[in-house]
Amino acid sequence: MLEINETMNKEHFHKHTTLNGQLSFDEISPGFPVIKINNEYACATISLYGGQLLDYKPHEQLEQVIWLSDQALFEENKAIRGGVPICWPWFGDYEKFPAHGYARTTFWEIESTKQTIDGGTEVILKMSCHELCQNFLDSHPLFDCDLAITITVASKLTIELKTTNNSQHTVGISDALHSYFKISDIHTVDVIGLAQVNFFDKLKNQEACYEESKMRFMTETDRVFIDTTNEINLNDPGFNRTITISKKNSNSTVIWNPWQEKSSQMSDMSNQAWLQMLCIESANVLKNQLLLESGETHRLTTSIAVKTYI
Ligand code: TA6
């Protein structure tokens, strides 16, 4: 945990202005610094732990767009449940290392903050792979990649994860922006954009093709859609809105809801929380894993826009 006191706060944040009041610096829990954004479009919170957006709400929306667990734990080596955790440099389990990699359990640094031409707010955080757990670096001494995340809060939310391979070798990485969306009720929302796309069902351990135009949810769902760059619409009649998720340089889309039983086993989710969240993740995983040549940079981008029904 970072020991944040007055001096530490200054060290973290002193180079960064408040951008005429758009930015402020705070802690969400002792030792867990966050950047708070409030501009003409929206409010948002970004955690330096995990380089993770925690919430985003355009002013005209009554509800948050991004879901953050009210039981989220702020503890070292534990990912924050909710927001947009970064899965990197692998997705899911990998050997003896923690699921979804280390990016979500590392403290990132602020690279820059600025006001965009249209009055939005841009925050860039960076993380060097030398921050990764020593265990991993010992067994992968040639791994040398840097990461930067650019979060732009404006009329829409844009998140870009940039990986640069600094090593002399080609490296294989997976990445995912594991976005948790806040929904009114998992039983009434639907997802459009995955018809005729092949997926790997993590629960059945098998591949299939999704035939239907609308995806609805009646049970636990954990699917990795492959070879798809499609835009997704998350229709939510209960919140009177559609969230549109578009992406660049992403060939996989992951859809996840743990349902009642699995979420009851999670210490960082309250009993009914699974009803109000759905993960739709822009990713490059499984056979869409990336091979980055020496010196190559990859940018995974997702944009999230919300439209209220008239
Ligand atoms: O993205 C779906 C998934 O990989 C699921 O299999 C599920 O385990 C989820 O991520 C959450 O993982 P976490 O390690 O954050 O509990």
Residue with tokens 């709400």: 57
Atom of ligand 1 nearest to the CA of 92: 4
Which of 219, 201, 198, 227 has its CA nearest to residue 210? 198
Give residue 222 CA to ligand 1 midpoint distance, Å: 8
Give residue 10 CA to ligand 1 midpoint distance, Å: 35
CATH of the domain at 103: 2.70.98.10
Which of 235, 258, 232, 266 has its CA nearest to residue 246? 232
Whether the pLDDT of residue 29 is over 60: the answer is yes
Burial of 211 (0-12, 13-18, 19+ CB in 10 A): exposed
- Structure confidence at residue 15 (pLDDT): 61
For ligand 1, atom 4, the nearest C-alpha belongs to 92
Cβ of 92 closer than 6 Å to ligand 1, yes or no, is: yes
pLDDT tens-digit readout, 52-77: 999 999 999 999 999 999 999 999 99
How many domains, the chain?
1
Angle at 103 between CA 176 and CA 231, to 5 degrees: 15
Pocket test for ligand 1, best of 222, 259, 274, 284 (most atoms within 8 A of CB): 222
Range of the domain at 237: 4-308
pLDDT tens-digit readout, 76-114: 999 999 999 999 999 999 998 999 999 999 999 999 999
pTM (predicted TM-score): 0.95
What whole-number distance in Å separates Cα of residue 199 and Cα of residue 54?
28
For ligand 1, atom 8, the nearest C-alpha belongs to 92
- Structure confidence at residue 10 (pLDDT): 52
Cβ of 189 closer than 6 Å to ligand 1, yes or no, is: no
pLDDT tens-digit readout, 144-182: 999 999 999 999 999 999 999 999 999 999 999 999 999
For ligand 1, atom 14, the nearest C-alpha belongs to 99
Whether the pLDDT of residue 131 is over 80: the answer is no
- Structure confidence at residue 1 (pLDDT): 47
- Structure confidence at residue 298 (pLDDT): 98
- Structure confidence at residue 167 (pLDDT): 92
- Structure confidence at residue 9 (pLDDT): 54
Whether the pLDDT of residue 7 is over 60: the answer is no
Cβ of 262 closer than 6 Å to ligand 1, yes or no, is: no
Q: Looking at 140-177, list the stretches that DSSP marks H as alpha helix, in order from N- to C-terminal side.
A: none
Backbone angles phi, psi at 103, to 5 degrees: -60, -35
What whole-number distance in Å separates Cα of residue 40 and Cα of residue 18?
14
Q: Which two tokens stand for residue 250?
A: 């992403």
Whether the pLDDT of residue 2 is over 60: the answer is no
Higher pLDDT, 138 or 224: 224
Cβ of 79 closer than 6 Å to ligand 1, yes or no, is: yes
Cβ of 100 closer than 6 Å to ligand 1, yes or no, is: yes
Cβ of 210 closer than 6 Å to ligand 1, yes or no, is: no
C-alpha distances in Å from residue 69, one per residue of 13, 54, 82, 89, 251: 26, 10, 6, 24, 28
Give residue 225 CA to ligand 1 midpoint distance, Å: 15
Atom of ligand 1 nearest to the CA of 176: 1
Cβ of 178 closer than 6 Å to ligand 1, yes or no, is: yes
Share of the chain above pLDDT 90, in %: 86
What whole-number distance in Å separates Cα of residue 229 and Cα of residue 242?
19
pLDDT band for position 8 (cuts 50, 70, 90): very low
Give residue 277 CA to ligand 1 midpoint distance, Å: 13
Q: Which two tokens stand for residue 69?
A: 């667990």
CB 244 within 8 A of CB 271: no
pLDDT tens-digit readout, 12-22: 665 677 888 89
Give residue 92 CA to ligand 1 midpoint distance, Å: 7
Whether the pLDDT of residue 4 is over 70: the answer is no
Q: Which two tokens stand for residue 186?
A: 């998992």
- Structure confidence at residue 14 (pLDDT): 59
- Structure confidence at residue 37 (pLDDT): 97
Pocket test for ligand 1, best of 102, 262, 279 (most atoms within 8 A of CB): 279
Dihedral sign from CA coordinates of 58, 59, 61, 65: positive
